[in-house]
């Protein structure tokens, strides 16, 4: 994940598939080509599954941020509709 918590590597996808240290890279660069499965009860996902899984995690993260921004804007507007000023809202709620 990047510093903002957005998934940015196939590791982010792989970590959510199973618990524990079930995959690794044998000390090599963290790329799909170097991916090894350490737990013989688990199967190696395809490269496409990793790519698609990461893309879905990113889309979910981005949507959650958008949803939060939308809800914040809606709440702010509702408070303004009730008669609070922008300064009052900001002071009381930090939005």
CA distances from residue 78 to 10, 52, 68, 72, 75 in whole angstroms, order as listed:
41, 38, 15, 10, 5
Give the N- to C-terminal CA distance of the chain in Å, as an integer.
26
State the Cα–Cα distance between residues 57 and 52, nearest whole angstrom.
Answer: 9
List pLDDT tens digits, range 50-61: 999 999 999 999
Q: Give the residue from 65, 17, 85, 6 showing the smallest Cα distance to 45.
A: 17
For tokens 């660069």, name the residue: 29
pLDDT band at 93 (very low <50, low <70, confident <90, very high): confident
pLDDT band at 48 (very low <50, low <70, confident <90, very high): very high
Q: Give the predicted TM-score (pTM) of the model.
A: 0.82
Domain spans, the chain:
10-93
Tokens for 47?
Answer: 């490269």
């Amino acid at each position: 994940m990047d510093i903002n918590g957005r998934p940015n590597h196939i590791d982010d996808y792989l970590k959510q598939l199973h618990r524990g240290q079930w995959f690794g890279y044998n000390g090599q660069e963290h790329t799909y080509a170097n991916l090894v499965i350490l737990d013989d009860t688990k199967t190696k996902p395809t490269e496409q599954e990793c790519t698609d899984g990461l893309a879905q995690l990113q889309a979910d993260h981005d949507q959650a941020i958008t949803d939060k921004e939308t809800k914040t804007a809606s709440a702010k507007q509702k408070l303004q509709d009730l008669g609070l000023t922008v300064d009052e809202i900001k002071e009381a709620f930090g939005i």
